[in-house]
Amino acid sequence: MRPTKTSTTRDPLQKTAGRVLSLATRALDVAVRNLDNARRIANFLRGRMEFEVRPTDVFISSYPRSGTTLTQWILYLLTHEEQPDPAHLTKVSPWFERSLAIGEVTASELERFPSPRVFKSHLPRQWLPDGARYIYVERDGLDVLVSYFHFYRAYLGFEGTLDDFYARFMDGRIQYGSWFEHVAGWRERACDPDVLIVRYEDLLSDRKASIERIIEFLGWARDERWVDRAVIESSFDAMKRRESVFDHATAVLLERGVSPESFLRAGQSGRGEGALSNAQVREIRERSSTGRRLAIRGLASFLQ
């Protein structure tokens, strides 16, 4: 049967309309993302200006997957006597920039937190308020890469290979930008009297000495009982039993209809080297992060 004249003219129109609608949908998606980013930036900047720093405040910053949660938990143990676990670590140690950006808390609400207040952050030093104490947790870039790759696959819908993610990591085309630049920016402040750089590997190999170093830096008076409890209760097994206290992504995942996977993967170091090729390991090792200027991709990338 021959097609009617109407049907022959309808197909091109349908194709054109489909293309137009597809372009319009993408444009609307971009506009919504831009509006959401603008809202988050405005919320954060307003909260940042209204926030009143206390000399006892502590900001724990790091590039993602570098040991922020472990350090937060250690400081929680050092500031709280034995008691029931908090419903979530962010309830007692807020994620500073994200909590303000999404409207979870306001600067005035943070005023109600007792001292010493301990905040999590992934921000560069220059975007954090002055007048506090700052602990930067640095982890071997090989392990950060592999851990972040698994996080991307489990939580952010990434379907590429480790090699694909390696290319992104080296170019800084991932959330929070370049690991090399992030580390370099904090290393430049390593001599500041209010900044302490802690290596994740040291937290694993000699946790007690690392905890004592943190206590000395903060000027806290803690006896052996406090230190020993922090060492025991911050072990990987002890934290794994409390995983719901630490998994900050669960709420976001449930909103998106994604089933959460394990947030605490292994609590080890040195696994990255075995997962990458010799050439990839060599490139990361040779690409020194010292002396590099910090290039920020944009504030919105830190407020996801």
Residues 196, 136 contacting (CB under 8 angstroms): yes
In DSSP terms, which residues pair with 95 in a beta bridge?
A: 120
Fill in the DSSP letter of residue 123.
Answer: -
**Cα–Cα distance between 234 and 240 in angstroms, integer?**
10
Residue 122: active-site member = yes
**Cα–Cα distance between 54 and 60 in angstroms, integer?**
15
Residue 284 burial (CB count, 10 A) = 22
HSE on the CB side for 67, CA within 13 Å?
27
Candidate list 122, 150, 182, 248, residue with the active-site label: 122
**Cα–Cα distance between 91 and 221 in angstroms, integer?**
24
Fill in the DSSP letter of residue 88.
Answer: -
The catalytic site residues sit at: 122
